[in-house]
Amino acid sequence: MAELLAQLEPAKRARSLRTLIAISIAHWVSHYYLLVLPMLFPFLKERLGVGFIELGLAPTVASVVSALTQAPIGYLVDRVGARIILMLGLCLGGSAFILLSIHLSYPTLIVSALLIGLGNSVYHPGNYAILSAHMDEARMGRAFSIHAFAGFLGSAVAPVIVVSLVAWSSGRGALIASGIIGPLTALLILAVGVPDARAAARNAAEPAKARTNILTPAILTLSVFFMLLGLSGIGISTFGVVALINGYGSSFSAANIALTAYLGATAIGVLAGGLLADRTARHGQLAAVCFAINAVIVLMIATTTLETAWLTAAMAMAGFLSGVIVPSRDMMVRNAAPAGAAGRAFGITSTGFNVGGIIGPLLFGWIMDQQMPHWVFGASAIFMAVTVLLALLPEARMRRAADKTATGTMPS
């Protein structure tokens, strides 16, 4: 029996590794797909004869559709299965770009954006349900960090890939090549035998928990937490360069170097955060400490004019700390989700990101229109400070519930 277990352990680790790689590639695709249309705006503007406002409606449509459908998709993941939903999402997103390449028109662009948003809604509930069910518990934080890092990498390389595809073929060629990536990734998931999450839920010791109310105070709090996370970062990543140029006298190159340092350090921080997440059960406290320090750093950027080297260092530190909390953020959702309800939990909480993605550009755009560039960083610091408080609430609720259960008192 011991020999059989010894043989099974390497096979289980190999299967987990294959699953992590395939799911991380799917997350890479999701982030890449969100940037394909914006990178093709110059081509689309010329071919469709529309303005940037009309073009800007496309990513807005994608964000709104994703926000509206992510929670329902989470329910489908738990009932139908995460693997099939994920594969359908990959194919749907890919078909959107192929459709636009075949029929290049403005109505088709909006339809394609709708399909991209619907396809994007599957990744968080599907990916996290599979990872939560099949990764080694002792390495769950690192698995989440690798998964998140793959997404950041997809965003980082999207401009280079799309520009290269356009130079190599054309705008239509870039759409077709990008569209093929999704179905190929779906085939990879099938070929490597990524396990389903629904099967694991059926085998859970307490399957009745999967039918419990998912809209708990902890999940609702985490949804707001995710929204504030999105708002705290979107201002810096979207309007940081113009704010530094207009409000701080930074040159174009210095402002872009500072933003690059912020984004690059975020990706590195995600990997470091995975190691920390596996070494603590107090993920909310870890996130709160990182964001408290981050709020101070960003507030310093908002209220002072730093030399280029110090500005770049401060932005890099802010990005690193923003990345560190990502695996702990995901562990907080996993810990708050009832058994068999990971898809619903991540679907609902991730909707907060979409809401932040809708509100953020409008809010920070208004701030810039009011000639208040310092408030791009000031507002981000305020969102971070509120996030500190929300990071502590879910774990505090769960500890109180555990204490009441231990003393024989039913939690309210």
List CB contacts of 359: < 8 A, sequence separation 6 or more: 227, 231
The phi-psi region of residue 411 (left if phi > 0; otherwise alpha if psi is between -120 and 50; otherwise beta) is beta
Least confident of 47-51, 128-132, 236-240: 236-240
Structure confidence at residue 183 as a pLDDT band (50, 70, 90): very high
Please write the tens of the pLDDT for every residue from 325-350: 888 888 888 888 777 777 788 888 88
pLDDT at 29 over 60: yes
Residue 201, pLDDT > 80, answer: no
**What's the CATH architecture for 10-197?**
Up-down Bundle (1.20)
The residue that leads in pLDDT, 281 or 142, is 142
pLDDT for position 205:
44
Report whether pLDDT(179) > 90.
yes
Q: What pLDDT, on a 0 to 100 scale, did the predictor assign at position 398?
A: 56
Could you write out the DSSP letters of every residue in 88-118?
HHHHHHHHHHHHHHHS-SHHHHHHHHHHHHH
Averaged confidence pLDDT in the chain: 83
How high is the pLDDT of residue 212?
A: 58
> Residue 396: its pLDDT value, please?
61
In eight-state DSSP terms, residue 121 is T
Which of 98, 112, 100, 244 lies closest to 177 in space, CA to CA? 98
- CATH number for the segment(s) 212-405: 1.20.1250.20
| DSSP string across 146-164 | HHHHHHHHHHHHHHHHHHH
Summarize pLDDT for 31-73 with one digit per residue, the tens: 999 889 888 888 888 899 888 778 878 888 888 898 889 888 9
pLDDT number for residue 341: 78
Question: What does the alpha-carbon distance between residue 374 and residue 273 come to, in Å, rounded to a whole number?
Answer: 29
Reply yes or no on whether the pLDDT at 199 is more than 60. Answer: no
Same fold? 10-197, 212-405: yes
Alpha carbon distance, N-terminus to C-terminus of the chain: 46
**Per-residue b/e over 338-364, b at no fewer than 16 CB within 10 Å?**
bebbbbbbbbbbbbbbbbbbbebbebb
**164 pLDDT above the threshold of 70:** yes
Place of tokens 């996370």: 229
User: Considering the chain, what percentage of its residues have pLDDT values greater than 90?
Assistant: 27
Is 70 exceeded by the pLDDT of residue 180?
A: yes
> Cα–Cα distance between 358 and 66 in angstroms, integer?
11
Q: Report angle CA 298, 302, 306 to the nearest 5 degrees.
A: 90
Please check the confidence at residue 122 and state whether its pLDDT lies above 50.
Answer: yes
Report residue 154 as tokens. 């997809």
Domain segments of the chain: what residues? 10-197, 212-405
Alpha carbons within 13 A on the beta-carbon side of 189: 27
As a whole number of angstroms, the distance between CA 345 and CA 333 comes to 7
pLDDT at 399: 58
Q: Can you give the pLDDT at residue 208?
A: 45
Task: Determine the pLDDT at residue 181.
Answer: 96
Q: What angle do CA 36, 172, 103 make, to 5 degrees?
A: 100
pLDDT above 50 for 169: yes
Q: Is the pLDDT of residue 209 over 50?
A: no
